[in-house]
Chain A
Amino acid sequence: MTVTVRSEPLPHPTTLVIHMGAGAVESLVNAAVRNYGEYRTLTPDGLGAFAVSVFAVARGVSEVEIIEALPQRSFARSTVGAVTDAGFGLLATSIADVHLAPAIAAIQHVHFDIVLPALGDARLLEVDPIDDEALEAAVRHHLAPHADRLLAVFGPRQRQ
């Protein structure tokens, strides 16, 4: 899996973004830490980004197409403006993997990562937290309240 940043302006602030799943803080943090290695080189300071995967209802991709491309049984909506107004970064990113199922490969052009506030820990310059349990714990402790705040930016969870 390789994550690439698309060089494009953010969608209009009213554009819907979909976060899949029941919205568990622990799951969100776990994903951000587990996948950090793919985001280590994406920031100029070398500290990388802890990212939360969402999809925009934009560029001809409907909400139904997004939901059907993913196996989670629930999801929630927010908007680009609500996410950025809450102080979170938003990166246009695409995941490249030859083994991606066709349905999710087809919506990578509307995939975005919400960037959680950085942990300014110099250890991240050298070490991926998946390789260091003490650093992993520090990162999880830092990210949890931000993840909680991010989830509150989304509306109520809907069942598919």
Chain B
Amino acid sequence: MGVRPMTGGVILFYVFAAITCLGAIGVVLSQNVVRMAFWLIVSLGSSAGLFFMLHADFVGALQLMVYVGGTLVLLIFGVMLTTTGQYMKIQSSPGEGVLAGAVGFLVFSMLFASVIQVDWSNTTTKIGITVPMDDTTETYNATGMGNTARPLGLSLLGLRPDKDLGKDAGSSLSTGYLLPFEIASIHLLVVLIGASYLARAKRRAGSVD
């Protein structure tokens, strides 16, 4: 593993990675709920930056929209409006600290062990970007620069522009992500209906009639 030259991309990677880690540490160390949420947003936002550096624009935008926005909603409606003062500051006892530290250490050692077991030497040279779509079509993007939205959307419809299905025609590979997508959609619908049912049931029990 040779030392990478410090190009702009590498420097930016270190910056985003450092902000992600510092944000995560900030979540653990701060005791105010709102500050915790703020550090969580910093951490999630800069991991979205890491996605952008991988040219995964759609995933990065989704990270901003769902996780950063979702954390915000969680913070406001889940924590700030439902608690009455005493939970705004979270002070953990030493026993909890030891327990959480042990769990964190176990997860970290598992991740660390699996990371160092991979032979990364093959990935130090950059793989040339091939455009799966028709390259005669002129687009506004430089080739392969983050225009992942169309291949992703087509995959959800069952078309795979990134795979030569003619070659794998006999295999049992699924052609797309239509079925998993539909399953996830139905799952979310069930959760939504369940949530609204629970909210209504509580109100009915408390009402006069």
Q: Do A and B come from one complex?
A: no
What is the interface of chain B, defined by CB distance below 8 A to chain A? Answer: none
